[in-house]
Amino acid sequence: MDFDLPEEHSAFRDVIRRWVDNECPKDSARELEADEDNYPHALWDKFTEAGLHGVGIDEEFGGQGGDVLMQMVLARELARSLGGLSWIWGITSFAGSKSIGLYGSEEQKAKYLPRIAAGELKAAISFTEPGGGTDLLGSMATTAERVDGGWVLNGEKIWSSSAHVADYLLCIARSDKTVEKAHQGLTLFWVPADSQGVSITPLPKLGMRSMGSCTVVYDNVFVADENVLAEPHNAWYTLLPTLNNERIMVGAFCLGVIDGVLEDALAYVMQRKAFGRFIGEFQALQHYIADIATAQKTTELLLYYCASKQARGEPVGNEANMLKLHASEAANQAADLGIQMLGGMGYSAETDMQRYWRDSRLWRIGPITNEMVKNGIAQSLGLPRSY
């Protein structure tokens, strides 16, 4: 059994790693992230120039091709330097290319995928309800009423990252109130963000700065039938494969953060002196380094396993949950240890440890809390539902 990346993927990783070092170094990421009020359009444009928006999109639609594993290699390399800013690429990759590429109609693919691949279209995910959080299905208050030629949306969403600069919003709403179970009667909409009745407000937050997260209000918003994705009233079953992909992508971003933390920690402990010695000679700090390196390798193995399974079309739901759980906890702990090793400089905005910590802290909460992930894993082992 070969645990190494295939040659094609390894070559792609090396190219992207050099590109990131040249075009998106950590000092530039700190500057972009510090400018919380301004979306980094220049970073998006760099991704466009490098063809990164087309990774995972078939060549027939103007993309670069590449499977799920290739996408995750890219996500990891971006996050090593950019941390949470990697979502500048990841959101549209998920909400646009992955969603439309998987369950869009042929007309929708032909219309939108070339624009996504060319960097001409930004998308945002508009799922979370203000009163629901992880309880997306039980809290679904956003409604879609059938009208002539389309649907009318009413409701509010929260934590919709980059919605304020998006061209389209991937929105889920309740379209049938007569169903027996909460996961039934839901429909996916590809909503033009400039539609009449859509209002978007950015939210201040701890991490993931600069890219913006927003509330989105839908006030009698008309959405044409041609902007319904997949089968009406059946959105939850449609979404499940992409939700697994999102958790795998979170795992890749977390692994990139671990890479960045380990890289910075090793450099620091080998040049910082205390008590007449390099601090990398101290046993306690060597143990921290060993813990981070071990987390890096275990996360890498689980990531490549999950991504390879999904690329082959095999079921990967439980493994994707385990990856999201393990990777997010490991990344946040690694960043915390990194702050501890750097001491006061780890707490300073002049270094990246605090940025890695703030960004990775979110991944323990979203897109699903780690407590809910554990519930799902336990249920998969035959234990009763606990919530």
Residue whose structure tokens are 């997949």:
230
If you ran DSSP here, which 8-state letter would residue 89 be given?
A: H
Q: Which of 214, 195, 238, 277 is nearest to 105 (CA)?
A: 238
The token pair that represents 240 in the structure block = 């499940």
Q: How is 126-144 classified by DSSP, letter by letter?
A: E---TTTTT-TTTT---EE
Q: How far apart are alpha carbons 10 and 240 in whole angstroms?
A: 29
Calculate the alpha carbon distances from 387 to 127, 189, 384 in Å. 21, 29, 9
Contact indicator for 249, 258 with CB cutoff of 8 Å: no
Q: How far apart are alpha carbons 247 and 324 in whole angstroms?
A: 6
Q: How far apart are alpha carbons 165 and 197 in whole angstroms?
A: 16
Q: How far apart are alpha carbons 269 and 59 in whole angstroms?
A: 46
**DSSP run (H or E) holding 325:** helix 317-342
Per DSSP bridges, beta strands 228-229 and 168-174 are unpaired
Residues designated as active site: 246
Q: How far is CA 374 from the centre of its chain?
A: 20
If you ran DSSP here, which 8-state letter would residue 257 be given?
A: H
Give, rounded to a whole angstrom, the gap between the first and last alpha carbons of the chain: 39
